[in-house]
Amino acid sequence: MKQTKLEWDDELLSKYNISGPRYTSYPTALEFTEDYQSTDYLSCLSQLSDDKSLSLYIHIPYCQNICYYCACNKIITKDKSKAEKYIGYLIKEIELVAKNVGDNKLRQIHWGGGTPTYLSVSQITSIMNSIRHCFKVPNDESIEISIEIDPRAIAIEDIQPLAELGFNRMSMGVQDFNPVVQKAVNRIQSFELTNNMIIEARKHGFKSINLDLIYGLPFQNKETFEQTLQQVIEISPDRISVFNYAHLPHRFKPQRRINGDNLPSAAEKLSIFQYIIDTLQDSGYLYIGMDHFAKPDDELALAQQAGCLHRNFQGYTTHQEYELIGVGVSSIGSINGQYHQNVRDVDSYYELLDQSKLPSWRGAKVNRDDLLRKAVIFELICHFELDLTQMEAIYNISFKAYFENELEMLKPYEKDGLVCISPTVIRVTNRGRLLIRNICMVFDAYMNELHQLNSFSKVI
Ligand code: SF4
């Protein structure tokens, strides 16, 4: 698949570099309320028709060590007995949910955290056994089972048993290989360790291997990051995610251990990001969209080409038709377009499950306008193009009349060469792709200045 290169324009990037959502859902999680409760969730589950395919997200909140940049919902502990108790409750939740989903087939399973590999292989096996017992799971390679691996928290010998359990996709955090940066963020992880783990994973049939990087960490500069990126290219993962570090110590306690004086300047960050974009594209990776790159033959790139790329809480994903169920603390699911999130703390989680209740915290009952705007935003963020005629046919609207204000708001973007608008199509240009969040924000009915300033990271 050919892709023309992204256009980098310093002036425009500075002009539009405001804060904005990453649109892993619409409405964003900020709009979730406690009006949505387990009864709503149960009614969504029971309304699933029997021919639906399901995707299951499992959240394991435990980590052995703290990474100072972390903004995830996790529990740092070396006391492994805590995980044992959690597993018992997780299995109870899986059983409760599965009872309500009818005859639907599970096609995708994703393990995230925290650190899923904080659990031993035998603990992971007991959860997988429960999933296979409770859900209809195809007994062949058609099911995608992915796991976030921390190479510091798994023995290389454990890769084979994971493959035998059915795991066939993998994502691994790297962030930066530079020892000074690693020390400053308390994550010491050598190139050799990472590389050996990936060689082993490939040997056992893992596909779509992803590495995560972060730019904007303390002591990073373009020169230090050049070496990290060259090492990553040498590993040759199928996908690379590059995240912008947002230093928000008032919101995320671990970040208080990072001295703000050691962070790269805004200009240095931009130059690292430009280097990443140029280098990855020159090395044959395609820019999928917001922070994500993939080789042309990777499933993400193929899904984008086929027009079926989707977004959910794990970022970009294939198979937009799958309904998503989340289990474990803080996990989020989406059924029939409605969103549901579990309680965030383990004590409340245990308490609700002790009463045989689903551990619901909050969610969003979406209306028709939400669904329409979600379709527009996800189409733009996944495919950089919106077929207005198709939207009109599906939603029975006149696009021009329904989105009169939004089309007006897009005019400056058109003038700056970020979008091309015709009566039938809105197309994001190569110059506009890096600013896709801004373009999506135009269609976000919940967007206001307060949200932007207080809740989201910068778009670049
Ligand atoms: S970045 Fe990942 S491994 Fe590190 S503390 Fe956060 S969740 Fe745990």
Structure tokens at 421: 């608008």
The rounded Å distance from CA 398 to ligand 1 centre is: 46
Domain of 384 in residue numbering reads as 1-23+368-460
Q: What is the pLDDT of residues 376-385, one digit of tens each?
A: 999 999 999 9
149 lines ligand 1 (CB under 6 A): no
Q: Closest residue (by CA) to atom 2 of ligand 1?
A: 114
459 lines ligand 1 (CB under 6 A): no
Claim to verify: residue 236 and residue 380 sit in the same structural domain: no
Confidence of residue 455 (pLDDT cuts 50, 70, 90): low
Claim to verify: residue 159 and residue 193 sit in the same structural domain: yes
**Residues in contact with 143: Cβ distance below 8 Å, sequence separation at least 6, in sequence order:** 106, 107, 108, 109, 137, 166
pTM, two decimal places: 0.94
* Contact yes or no for 111/60 (Cβ under 8 A): yes
* Contact yes or no for 303/318 (Cβ under 8 A): yes
Confidence of residue 359 (pLDDT cuts 50, 70, 90): very high
Task: Specify if 416 maps to a domain.
Answer: yes
214 lines ligand 1 (CB under 6 A): no
Task: Specify if 386 maps to a domain.
Answer: yes
Concatenating the DSSP letter of every residue in 104-140 gives PEEEEEEEEES-GGGS-HHHHHHHHHHHHHHSB--SS
Q: Which atom of ligand 1 is nearest to the CA of 150?
A: 3
The rounded Å distance from CA 307 to ligand 1 centre is: 33
Task: Specify if 341 maps to a domain.
Answer: no
Q: How far apart are CA 275 and CA 262, in angstroms?
A: 20
The rounded Å distance from CA 269 to ligand 1 centre is: 22
Q: What is the mean pLDDT of residues 24-42?
A: 93
Claim to verify: residue 267 and residue 397 sit in the same structural domain: no
Q: How far apart are CA 23 and CA 314, in angstroms?
A: 11
Q: What is the pLDDT of residues 172-200, one digit of tens each?
A: 999 999 999 999 999 999 999 999 999 99
Answer whether the bond into residue 27 is a cis peptide, omega within 30°. yes
Q: Residue 313 gets which letter from DSSP? A: T
Claim to verify: residue 297 and residue 405 sit in the same structural domain: no
Claim to verify: residue 306 and residue 389 sit in the same structural domain: no
Ligand 1 pocket mutation, candidates 63, 73, 243, criterion most atoms within 8 A of CB: 63
Concatenating the DSSP letter of every residue in 407-443 gives HHHTHHHHHTTSEEE-SSEEEE-TTTGGGHHHHHHTT
Please give the residue that has the higher pLDDT: either 134 or 454.
Answer: 134
Which residues is 53 bridged to in the sheet? 105
174 lines ligand 1 (CB under 6 A): no
Number of domains forming the structure of the chain: 2
Claim to verify: residue 7 and residue 96 sit in the same structural domain: no
Instruction: Spell out the alpha helix ranges (H) of 8-50.
Output: 10-16, 38-46
pLDDT of residue 179: 97
The rounded Å distance from CA 322 to ligand 1 centre is: 28
Task: Specify if 342 maps to a domain.
Answer: no
The domain that holds 437 is classified in CATH as 1.10.10.920
Q: Which atom of ligand 1 is nearest to the CA of 69?
A: 1
Claim to verify: residue 390 and residue 263 sit in the same structural domain: no
Beta strands in 150-268 (DSSP E): 169-175, 207-215, 239-244
Task: Specify if 361 maps to a domain.
Answer: no
Q: Closest residue (by CA) to atom 6 of ligand 1?
A: 70
Ligand 1 pocket mutation, candidates 62, 67, 76, criterion most atoms within 8 A of CB: 67
Structure tokens at 235: 């590993």
The residue out of 309, 327, 345 marking a domain boundary is: 327
Residue 218 has a CB neighbour count (10 Å cut-off) of: 21
Is the dihedral angle over the CA atoms 110, 114, 115, 118 positive or is it negative? Answer: negative
The rounded Å distance from CA 116 to ligand 1 centre is: 10
**Taking 80 as the threshold, does the pLDDT of residue 449 lie above it?**
no
63 lines ligand 1 (CB under 6 A): yes
Q: What is the pLDDT of residues 248-290, one digit of tens each?
A: 999 999 999 999 999 999 889 999 999 999 999 999 999 999 8
323 lines ligand 1 (CB under 6 A): no
The rounded Å distance from CA 243 to ligand 1 centre is: 14
Task: Specify if 138 maps to a domain.
Answer: yes
